[in-house]
Amino acid sequence: MNELDQLVSSAQADFDVAPTPAELENAKARYLGKSGRVTELLKALGALPFEAKKARGAEINQAKARIEAALQARREALAEAELQAQLRAEALDVTLPGRQRGIGGLHPVSRTIERIEAIFASMGFDVAEGPEIETDWMSFTALNNPENHPARSMQDTFYVDLKDEQGRWLNLRPHTSPMQVRYARAHAARCAGMDPMPEIRVIAPGRTYRVDSDATHSPMFHQCEGLWIGQNISFKDLKFVFSDFVRQFFETDDFDVRFRPSFFPFTEPSAEIDIAFRSGPLAGRWLEVAGSGQVHPNVVRNYGLDPEQHIGFAFGMGPDRLAMLRYGIDDLRLMFDGDLRFLQQFN
Ligand code: PHE
């Protein structure tokens, strides 16, 4: 191997071990730089006679071309290695499972209320919402509760430390019945002068509060009020509407309905509505599902309507209890504990 071949393979070896582009450029300088070995050889040509210069020059240029080719090959190899390293670092494993976000769902009581709303909406009932902090007049007086009625007592009703315009303590509504009054009064005002007045058909679901807490009572619970007022609405209509609701809600025809005489100040006559399934896990047991009755003339008057002209019924039921019956839940407190192990079963 002559001296130029040696120079080429020495350059080749130096380039091949250069680990980075910067070190490769340093190695290049040692051969092709201003005082590099190839440059020195070329400078030395000047001392040679013309013919020898020509031959030697050609040899050196050939060696220089091989060194430049080796340099270029190493540059490309390093660039390629860098690209591969970068690709590896940025690699995305599309087979990894995604990070899961918990998916929320509706609370069983919300589901139940939506279900009640949909069924009554299909029977032409409007859905109304109203305040949870009520005046004494709306919660009691308008509903024909006598002054000394036990429902007004501190043992049953939560009061708020604020007074209304009549100087009476505001209350956390103990039932949704004030919504009968609010809705009917707005309807009566809106329809003043119309003859006949369009019927009132509304349900009002929402939160209600009583001083009570055990396996079947919660200080916060839900009710859904129903009201149907027209020219000639009777218990027969109530029985039909309520039975149809039960049929749709529980998805069965296999049940009996009974009206059991009861008392509410705002209805006369009044009845508890009981249902009994003829089959299934609850078969044969009478279950109380709603209070109801023909709206008392005093209450119709408080709607701003003439009880001689407007008659109908109201009912109030508990979505919490309906949800418990539908899903087979035996403790009301589970509904409001917020335990995800319980709640997730409904999603
Ligand atoms: N408001 C009554 C209660 O809380 C239920 C009810 C509503 C009864 C409408 C009759 C008519 O128990």
pLDDT digits (tens, 9 = 90+) for 113-151: 999 999 999 999 999 999 999 999 999 999 999 888 887
| Residues 77, 207 within the same domain | no
| Residues 84, 146 within the same domain | no
| Residues 208, 174 within the same domain | yes
Q: Which residues pair with 291 in a beta bridge?
A: 272, 316
Comparing 104 with 107, the larger pLDDT belongs to 107
- Residue 335 to residues 120, 129, 157: CA-CA distances in angstroms? 24, 22, 22
Nearest to 223 by CA among 124, 318, 118: 318
Nearest atom (ligand 1) to Cα of 270: 10
What is the count of structural domains for the chain?
2
Whether residue 94 is contained in a domain is answered as: no
- pLDDT at res. 186: 98
Q: Which two tokens stand for residue 276?
A: 């009994």
Comparing 91 with 303, the larger pLDDT belongs to 303
Averaged pLDDT, 174-199: 96
CA of 335 to the centre of ligand 1 (A): 22
- pLDDT at res. 103: 82
- pLDDT at res. 101: 84
| Residues 193, 135 within the same domain | yes
Is the pLDDT reported for residue 154 higher than 80?
Answer: no
- Per-residue pLDDT band for 189 (boundaries 50, 70, 90) equals very high
Is the pLDDT reported for residue 184 higher than 90?
Answer: yes
Strand arrangement, sheet containing 133-134: 133-134, 169-172, 159-163
| Residues 81, 188 within the same domain | no
Whether residue 183 is contained in a domain is answered as: yes
What domain range is 327 assigned to? 108-346
Residue at a domain's end among 39, 57, 89: 89
- pLDDT at res. 246: 97
Residue 67: Cβ-neighbour burial (10 angstroms; 0-12, 13-18, 19+)? buried
- pLDDT at res. 336: 92
Averaged pLDDT, 210-220: 89
- pLDDT at res. 82: 92
How far is it, in rounded angstroms, from Cα 38 to Cα 272?
111
| Residues 179, 238 within the same domain | yes
pTM for this structure? 0.72
Nearest to 317 by CA among 186, 175, 111, 151: 175
For the chain, the average pLDDT equals 94
- pLDDT at res. 1: 66
Residue nearest (by alpha carbon) to ligand 1 atom 12: 291
Nearest atom (ligand 1) to Cα of 227: 9
| Residues 73, 114 within the same domain | no
Residue 127 φ/ψ region, left for φ over 0, alpha for ψ in the -120 to 50 degree band, beta for the rest: beta
How distant is the alpha carbon of residue 85 from its chain centre?
44
Nearest atom (ligand 1) to Cα of 180: 9
- Identify which of 139, 149, 172, 175 to mutate to test ligand 1's pocket (most ligand atoms within 8 A of the CB): 175
Identity of the amino acid at 143: L
Q: Which residues pair with 207 in a beta bridge?
A: 222
Residues at CB less than 6 angstroms from ligand 1: 175, 177, 225, 264, 267, 291-293, 314-316
Please, where are the H alpha helices in the chain?
3-17, 21-32, 37-44, 50-89, 108-122, 136-139, 178-190, 235-250, 297-302, 319-327, 333-337, 340-343
CA of 177 to the centre of ligand 1 (A): 6
Q: pLDDT for 273-312, tens place per residue?
A: 999 999 999 999 999 999 999 999 999 999 999 999 999 9
Is the pLDDT reported for residue 218 higher than 70?
Answer: yes
Report phi then psi at 55, rounded to 5.
-65, -50
Whether residue 98 is contained in a domain is answered as: no
CA of 215 to the centre of ligand 1 (A): 21
| Residues 41, 123 within the same domain | no
Q: Is 116 helix (H, G, I), strand (E, B) or coil?
A: helix
| Residues 83, 161 within the same domain | no
CA of 328 to the centre of ligand 1 (A): 24
Averaged pLDDT, 196-214: 95
Residue at a domain's end among 89, 123, 147: 89
Whether residue 247 is contained in a domain is answered as: yes
- pLDDT at res. 11: 94
Nearest to 67 by CA among 143, 5, 152: 5
- Identify which of 145, 228, 264, 317 to mutate to test ligand 1's pocket (most ligand atoms within 8 A of the CB): 264
Element (H, E) at 233: none
* Cβ atoms of residues 311 and 294 within 8 Å: yes
CA of 267 to the centre of ligand 1 (A): 9
- pLDDT at res. 323: 96
| Residues 48, 116 within the same domain | no
| Residues 78, 132 within the same domain | no
Whether residue 205 is contained in a domain is answered as: yes
- pLDDT at res. 12: 95
Residue nearest (by alpha carbon) to ligand 1 atom 10: 292
Whether residue 101 is contained in a domain is answered as: no
Q: pLDDT for 45-76, tens place per residue?
A: 888 898 989 999 999 999 999 999 999 999 99
How far is it, in rounded angstroms, from Cα 55 to Cα 113?
102
| Residues 192, 310 within the same domain | yes
How far is it, in rounded angstroms, from Cα 174 to Cα 265?
14
What is the share, in percent, of the chain residues with pLDDT greater than 70?
100
Is the pLDDT reported for residue 28 higher than 70?
Answer: yes
How far is it, in rounded angstroms, from Cα 318 to Cα 249?
13
